[in-house]
Structure 1
Amino acid sequence: MSIKKALIKGLMSSAALLLFATPTFAAIDPNAVTGSTDGLGATSHGHITITPGDETTGPTDPIFPSEPGGETGNEGSLTIDNVSPLEFDTHQLASGAVEYTTTSIDPNVQVTDKRGTGVGWALQVATSPFMDQTDGTKILKGAIVTLPIGAAETNPGNVSPPPELREVQLGTDSGTTNPQILMRADMNTGLGTWVDKFDPSRIKISVPSGNLAGDYVSTLTWSLVDAPQ
């Protein structure tokens, strides 16, 4: 091999090593103090270690307590803290389709992410049919519950960007609906505690005409996925 070819091959190998080398960082001694040669300067360090939250920290209280209350009591580093029950009051049958708004006060959903990884998360919700409390064969047909885009609220001083909030329409006619995403936190967003705070005048149930009278209840199933969907 000629000297010229060997030199080129060596340069290429060096370039490849530089390209694929993993950067290394020297650890800092947080207790180290140094002075300057002229005696007029010095350096020191501040030091703090942050660890993930876990079950030992207890449940996270709702930022906006709702009425009826919706505290879940969940503990851990990624939790659903609050899901407000939705009351739609009592109404007479009408001759046409009607919409009713919730009578719940300060309805909201609250999620806390104390993992400290920034990998993101997604909050999903699904519904079952509105079934009569005393007659399980009687179902409120064609009912649709709308959860609007709310306001993203958090504790004072939270430096994390908020999660994305979405509107969902939950048809309740047959079986449990497929989960729909209500809140979505991409990477490095939605850290800490975040609330999807709804305007109660925009939480609605649409009821078609032709239904039977009854005392109907639907179950909302909430699920938190530990990565954005």
Structure 2
Amino acid sequence: MKRERLLLLFLVLACFTFYPKTVSAVEQNAGNKASSQVSIRFLKDNTPIKNGKFPDTLGNFLGDLGVGDGKRLPQTGEILTIVGIALGFLLILAAGGIIIYRYILGGRTMKLWKSMLVTTVVLGGLVSPTLALADNTAGDKEENKDATSYGTVELKAGEEEEGKPTNPGGEEGGGTGNTGRLALVFVSPLDFGTFQLTGKQEIIKAKNTAPNIEVRDIRGTAKGWTVSVSMSDFVQQEDNKVTLKGAELYLPMGEATSPDKLTNGKPTPIEVKSVEKDPQLVFVANDKEGAGIWLNEFGKDKIELKIPQDALVGNYKAELNWTIATTPTGTEEETKGE
């Protein structure tokens, strides 16, 4: 009976001595948010290695354990952990084998408390290394987290200098010279050329190849704007008392375009059937529209002038007033075109 108790006591002491501790990967690698490995080999003398070859003893199992000519320095304590776990397994298996042989194969029966003690020790020894490895794996996964970085930029409103028109289609003489963050920078002068009277009402088309108006909005607010147009009478240049009564100027609904071919934030062109002395909307950008540079391109052969049947010969000229405003009633900038 004494031998049995001594055997059990030895088994318990052995398990407590070599019992693998459950250590999390975070505790083993505390402070290492990112890690890398550097290895170095130490030889038994300082003789330089020739031809870039290492002795055959390097890299074997004994060298990893720090034994022999090829021994290496321990890295982070992994070797001691492996050795401890291995010895613990061997002792537990040996003690378990003895117990099985003596009490099961030998035909003896253990008491209940002895059976529970032995079962607890054996199972605890088998499960603990597994928990340690699983805990290390979980710690590694926890450290592999995504990273976030930022890019910043500060944008300010543009300079209130003279706007340079893009001048699509090569239209000439339409630069307004207007300055400001919201400005009408180009308006095509309209040329209807020379026409012979027929004694009937006639409609003639403008000779322009690409008539357009151009708006620049560099306020950086995208609060919208409006462009309206009005027209004076056509006055004879030879005698300013003679006007072209009944003349009507038609502006079609053009196409809103931008130098960068934008599709978002487009202003809306509006058709003007007859330009009057009172302002009429011709180009509108609502809130969140019209930021940057936008053109209202009327198109070739689309602008028309109605000539009354009783018109008198002479050179006639009318003045078109183009007004850009932040609201339909609040004028921001005014441009006159012909």
Indicate the TM-score class for this superposition, using the shorter chain for normalisation. Answer: 0.7 to 0.9
User: For residue 120 of structure 1, what is the aligned residue in structure 2?
Assistant: 224
Does residue 50 (structure 1) correspond to residue 155 (structure 2)? The answer is: yes
In the alignment, the residues of structure 2 paired with residue 51 and residue 134 of structure 1 have an alpha-carbon distance, to the nearest angstrom, of: 51
Shift of residue 169, structure 1, vs aligned partner: 2.8
List gaps (5 residues or longer) in structure 2: 1-33, 35-141, 330-338
List gaps (5 residues or longer) in structure 1: 1-34
Equivalent in 258, 261, 265 of residue 154 of structure 1: 258
Equivalent in 82, 103, 114 of residue 207 of structure 2: 103
Q: 1:39 to 1:186 in 2, by over 3 A?
A: same
Q: Alpha-carbon deviations, 1:88-107, whole Å to 9, x = none?
A: 01111111100000001211
Larger radius of gyration: 2
In the alignment, the residues of structure 1 paired with residue 263 and residue 156 of structure 2 have an alpha-carbon distance, to the nearest angstrom, of: 17
Q: 1:213 to 1:157 in 2, by over 3 A?
A: closer
Does residue 193 (structure 1) correspond to residue 293 (structure 2)? The answer is: yes
Q: 1:171 to 1:76 in 2, by over 3 A?
A: closer
Equivalent in 130, 139, 145 of residue 243 of structure 2: 139
Write the letter of the residue equivalent to 1:89: G
In the alignment, the residues of structure 1 paired with residue 200 and residue 261 of structure 2 have an alpha-carbon distance, to the nearest angstrom, of: 49
Shift of residue 39, structure 1, vs aligned partner: 5.1
In the alignment, the residues of structure 2 paired with residue 217 and residue 110 of structure 1 have an alpha-carbon distance, to the nearest angstrom, of: 23
Aligned pairs for 1:58-97 (under 5 A) are 58-97=162-201
Secondary structure of 2:301's counterpart equals: helix
Does residue 180 (structure 1) correspond to residue 280 (structure 2)? The answer is: yes
| Percent identity over paired residues | 33
User: For residue 3 of structure 1, what is the aligned residue in structure 2?
Assistant: none
Write the letter of the residue equivalent to 1:53: G
Name the structure where strand makes up a greater proportion of residues: 1
Shift of residue 86, structure 1, vs aligned partner: 0.3
Q: Is the Cα–Cα contact under 8 Å of residues 83 and 108 in structure 1 kept in the other structure? A: yes
Q: Alpha-carbon deviations, 1:118-174, whole Å to 9, x = none?
A: 2110001100000011201110010000110111110226464210111113356xx
Q: 1:158 to 1:63 in 2, by over 3 A?
A: farther
Larger relative contact order (Cα-Cα within 8 Å, sequence gap ≥ 6): 1
Q: 1:208 to 1:157 in 2, by over 3 A?
A: closer
In the alignment, the residues of structure 1 paired with residue 145 and residue 211 of structure 2 have an alpha-carbon distance, to the nearest angstrom, of: 60
Does residue 206 (structure 1) correspond to residue 310 (structure 2)? The answer is: no
Shift of residue 60, structure 1, vs aligned partner: 2.8
Shift of residue 228, structure 1, vs aligned partner: 5.2
In the alignment, the residues of structure 2 paired with residue 79 and residue 124 of structure 1 have an alpha-carbon distance, to the nearest angstrom, of: 13
Q: 1:61 to 1:118 in 2, by over 3 A?
A: same
Q: 1:160 to 1:191 in 2, by over 3 A?
A: farther
Q: 1:151 to 1:222 in 2, by over 3 A?
A: same
Normalised to the residue count of structure 1, the TM-score between the two structures is 0.77
Q: Alpha-carbon deviations, 1:14-72, whole Å to 9, x = none?
A: xxxxxxxxxxxxxxxxxxxxx9x72543221110111111314x413224154333111
Q: Is the Cα–Cα contact under 8 Å of residues 63 and 195 in structure 1 kept in the other structure? A: no
Equivalent in 143, 168, 172 of residue 38 of structure 1: 143
Name the structure where helix makes up a greater proportion of residues: 2
